[in-house]
Structure 1
Amino acid sequence: MSNKSQIRKFVDTNVERQLVREYLLKETERAGFGGLHFERAFEGTSMCTKITLKAERVGMVIGRKGKIINELQRRIREDFNLENPKLQVEEIAKPSLNAQVMASKLASALERGWYFRRAGHSSVLQIIESGARGVLIVLNGKVTGGRHRTQKFTAGHIKYCGETALEHMEIGFATAVKKLGTIGCTVAIMRAGAKLPHEIELRSRHEVGLEPIVIPAITSKDIFEEELDEEQAAEEQKLLDGAAAEAEFTDSTGDADAGDEAESETEEVAGKPEAEANLDSLLKAELVALAEEAGLDTSGTKADLIVRLSDTGDSESAHRTTGTWSLLPGYRPRRRQALDRDRAEHPSRGHQRTGARSQAAAAAWHDLGAVGDDEGPCACACRRRRPVVATGADAV
């Protein structure tokens, strides 16, 4: 029963302190109320409760000849259940770093018609420029219209919960009353110079007053020699000889394997053109039959069939299977390769093209009517003789 009464006593004391805080906030709001601090102490032989009021403008709290502060102290003694209260006033060094002062200023700006974004951003900028590590401003209520909304403004480091938030964050609250409704202004400031748990500082031994570490040098006295008998020496020598022989065998085996691989690659490179030449001598029907036996695709031209049948499973065939021909080094489409071969065989021929303009150029080429010593037929589908342009005396 005694424990319950003691708990009830603590609860009642805190309730009275909260009521005192609300009363002083209302009375000294224009003076820049910045918070209260309660402390139980001895005054002479009796107990008293020291109440320290933090304010931005101390003169407005004290009044002329202490008239206002004496009246506040009298009201606290009569209206609240505190043991011998003593009211003191303390000036705030930096009001822009006090959360309660900034919350009151923000609420006053909103009541005077400031746009909420302008008021929020200006408060954040002022707090950060004063040296705070972080700030969080939250506006709740009918900020812009008839519907409730929440707007946040943040900057720097912010801790929302835990022991770090309780130790380093200072929270202030104020209310702005406008025509549309009430707006709650919450300001949370991380104090200047707050050291977070993850921030560590490394200092040298000299800075903390410790002597430097001296690493002892190794002398000849620390080296011990062990003598082996004949049997132990023979076993050690046998192990060393075996390791050396194994290393030589591994090197010789690797060289032999490398030589075999090089010979096999040379044989494959030499045999591939011969196999393609043999396939080139066959007819397309025979190539189709071979492709069907091998389970390959039989569509396409004769050149396509030769490429499929001459595939050996190397990287080039893999590119052909997947269709990524353009990834091959030195890749060139088959049509472009055929044109290159044709130009190499007939340097003076330029009429192997398609289109009406190219056909007209080919007809003009065949109608020149001059036939030189080169009497071989033209390699194109027209099968006419190739003309030779006369030069020098023949041209006359």
Structure 2
Amino acid sequence: MIEKNFISDSIKREKAKDFIRKEMAKAGIVDVHIQRTTLNTRIIISAERPGIIIGRKGRGILELTQTIERDLGIQNPQIELVDIGNPDLEPNVIAMWIARMLERGYKAKKVMQRALYRIKKANAMGAEIIIRGTMHKGIKSRQERVVFGYLKKAGNDTKHVKEAKTQAKLKQGVLGITVRIVPPDVIFADKINIAEIIRKGEENKTEDKNGNNQEERTEKHGESRA
């Protein structure tokens, strides 16, 4: 019985996540996390434009909460919105933007270059954008790829690479979109500069020593005046 309830709750959570992503696509959903507690169900939504979710005078978020509870069977849902910071460092945001531009008829190469420029401007360490599928009618399926900077493809450091996948639905078929971004604050193991670390350590020691000497001089000066 417990196992059945667990599976049922998991299915409900996944349906709720899909529903929120589809219904609030214009808000630029980055992530949806659902956590069940003893009192309620916390739904934490990270979005590029949370104002769209909130709606005028809070009506949007109220209607969303009521729909999730009524139609999806989520008990006592409590929606929380999280600021994502710089949206150009979020692969979900970039991937969905690319999909929208392609569906409006913009050429894949130009869209990819514009997206890559946005990521560069956000000071990312590296990025990769891949589009697969039939770009034009009468042309075989192919892959377009743009990349810049430092990007790990194997090993434990790949956990630092943020990735998102989505699709653009065009008349000639579906295009698969993959976006990978390395945030600016990531430190990879093979990029650690030992000499730089030692130099900074010596500088910190010197600063601490100078600070201690200053304190000693201040104390002696106070004693002499006394």
Q: Is it true that 1:34 corresponds to 2:30 in the alignment?
A: yes
Secondary structure class of the residue paired with 1:172: strand
Give the Cα–Cα distance (whole angstroms) in 2 for the partners of residues 57 and 79 of structure 1.
25
Offset, 1:93: 2.1
2:119 to 107, 114, 127: 127
Q: Is it true that 1:171 corresponds to 2:166 in the alignment?
A: no
Amino acid in the other structure paired with 2:46: K
- The count of corresponding residues between Structure 1 and Structure 2 is 203
**TM-score normalized with structure 2 length:** 0.77
Q: Is it true that 1:203 corresponds to 2:198 in the alignment?
A: yes
Q: Is it true that 1:94 corresponds to 2:53 in the alignment?
A: no
Sequence identity (%): 28
Q: Which residue of 1 aligns with 2:57?
A: 65
Secondary structure class of the residue paired with 1:50: strand
Give the Cα–Cα distance (whole angstroms) in 2 for the partners of residues 142 and 64 of structure 1.
40
Secondary structure class of the residue paired with 2:97: helix
Q: Which residue of 1 aligns with 2:131?
A: 139
Give the Cα–Cα distance (whole angstroms) in 2 for the partners of residues 203 and 157 of structure 1.
24
Q: CA RMSD in A?
A: 2.8
Q: Is the 8 A contact 1:47 1:83 kept in 2?
A: no
Offset, 1:162: 4.3
Q: Which residue of 2 aligns with 1:156?
A: 149
Secondary structure class of the residue paired with 1:61: helix
Secondary structure class of the residue paired with 2:132: strand
Amino acid in the other structure paired with 1:25: R
Q: Is it true that 1:114 corresponds to 2:109 in the alignment?
A: no
Higher relative contact order (CA 8 A, sep 6+): 2
- Any stretches of 5+ residues in structure 1 without a counterpart? 213-396
Offset, 1:208: 5.9
Give the Cα–Cα distance (whole angstroms) in 1 for the partners of residues 141 and 27 of structure 2.
31
Label 1:40 to 1:163 Cα distance change in 2 as closer, same or farther (>3 A).
farther
- Any stretches of 5+ residues in structure 2 without a counterpart? 210-226
Q: Is the 8 A contact 1:140 1:149 kept in 2?
A: yes
Q: Which residue of 2 aligns with 1:188?
A: 180
Give the Cα–Cα distance (whole angstroms) in 2 for the partners of residues 82 and 169 of structure 1.
32
Label 1:178 to 1:80 Cα distance change in 2 as closer, same or farther (>3 A).
same
Label 1:169 to 1:79 Cα distance change in 2 as closer, same or farther (>3 A).
farther
Q: Is it true that 1:85 corresponds to 2:77 in the alignment?
A: yes
Give the Cα–Cα distance (whole angstroms) in 1 for the partners of residues 190 and 8 of structure 2.
39
Offset, 1:14: 4.3
Secondary structure class of the residue paired with 1:144: coil
Structure number with bigger Rg: 1
2:39 to 47, 53, 59: 47
Q: Is the 8 A contact 1:20 1:80 kept in 2?
A: yes
Label 1:14 to 1:194 Cα distance change in 2 as closer, same or farther (>3 A).
farther
Q: Which residue of 1 aligns with 2:48?
A: 56
Give the Cα–Cα distance (whole angstroms) in 2 for the partners of residues 83 and 58 of structure 1.
23
Q: Which residue of 1 aligns with 2:214?
A: none
Label 1:110 to 1:82 Cα distance change in 2 as closer, same or farther (>3 A).
same
Secondary structure class of the residue paired with 1:88: strand
Q: Is the 8 A contact 1:171 1:188 kept in 2?
A: yes
Offset, 1:67: 1.0
Secondary structure class of the residue paired with 1:121: helix
Label 1:15 to 1:195 Cα distance change in 2 as closer, same or farther (>3 A).
farther
Q: Is it true that 1:17 corresponds to 2:13 in the alignment?
A: yes
Give the Cα–Cα distance (whole angstroms) in 1 for the partners of residues 28 and 125 of structure 2.
23
